[in-house]
Amino acid sequence: MHIIETQHLCYKYRGNISALDNIDFIAKRNSKIAIIGPNGAGKSTLFKHLNGILKPYSGTILIKGEPITKDNIREIRKTVGLVFQNPDDQIFSPTVEQDVAFGPTNLGLDAETICHRVSEALKIVGLEDYRTRVTHHLSGGEKKRVAIAGVIAMEPQVLVLDEPTAGLDPQGIRDVISYIKNFSEQYGITVIFSTHDISLVSELADYIYVMNKGTFVAQGTVAEIFEKHELLNSVRLDVPVLPKLIHSLRNHEIQIEMGYTYSEAEIAFLKAFGKIE
């Protein structure tokens, strides 16, 4: 049983405008899944279905094998946590501590448990010293981390991140990459994220769905998807710079292994130029 599965999921906006068309999606436990595609592809709309914010026009959404209903929506939102692209859409409490505590408080947890969860969540995102900070005085990157902490404090089994690095500086991007890796590797959380930063996909994902005009046009591993140059170009996406460079070198008859992440590419270059065996 998969932790999330959608079957023939369709959604239409007012005016009978199709936003999602026959979406079949699977998220396995402890996986890291990237959903990539151009603006307007339907990524955010899909994400809002995964914890019951939106209801399907047709089709089925299964969370741990169960459809989303009025009776289990509270449990669904404990299981699947969603972090919006714009943290200002998610942060509304006066202080960091109050905002992170909002979700656990609404679960009816006791004060001691809430305090522990807030502390742990802020520690995970590196904001232990920000408890009393006023939220609207924070930078964009700090707000993003508070929004993530607020979801983590709910102890979800699935973390859905809509454009998690949008608007962040390079250090903020590195921090988010570190958090996402930790969520999966240390805490066993399934991570689903969308991004326009293709290099981020190589670093984080173990499976990719390519989305365009409300439907999936391809899916596969990082290696499988980034070999589909024509497909990616057709949906206004590009291959990450490192595999693109390696592919170019191969075309010039330089024998080099393929690498998709920085560490993989570094080893490939060192081997190709005889620096290591």
Asked if 206 and 222 touch (Cβ cutoff 8 Å), the reply is yes
pLDDT in tens, 191-244: 999 998 888 898 899 999 999 999 999 999 999 999 999 999 999 998 889 999
246 and 154 assigned to the same domain: no
Cα(146)–Cα(91) distance, integer angstroms: 8
198 and 269 assigned to the same domain: no
What pLDDT sits at residue 26? 97
What pLDDT sits at residue 196? 86
Cα(95)–Cα(231) distance, integer angstroms: 46
User: CA 199 → CA 1, 27, 72, 260, distances in Å?
Assistant: 31, 21, 37, 8
Range of the domain at 273: 240-277
159 and 252 assigned to the same domain: no
Bridge-partner residues for 159, per DSSP?
81, 191
Cα(128)–Cα(118) distance, integer angstroms: 9
Quick one: tokens of 259?
A: 């690498």
166 and 91 assigned to the same domain: yes
Q: How many domains does the chain have?
A: 2
What pLDDT sits at residue 18? 93
199 and 260 assigned to the same domain: no
CATH number of the domain encompassing residue 46: 3.40.50.300
List, for the chain, all residue ranges whose pLDDT scores fall below the cut of 50.
Answer: none
pLDDT in tens, 92-102: 899 999 999 99
182 and 247 assigned to the same domain: no
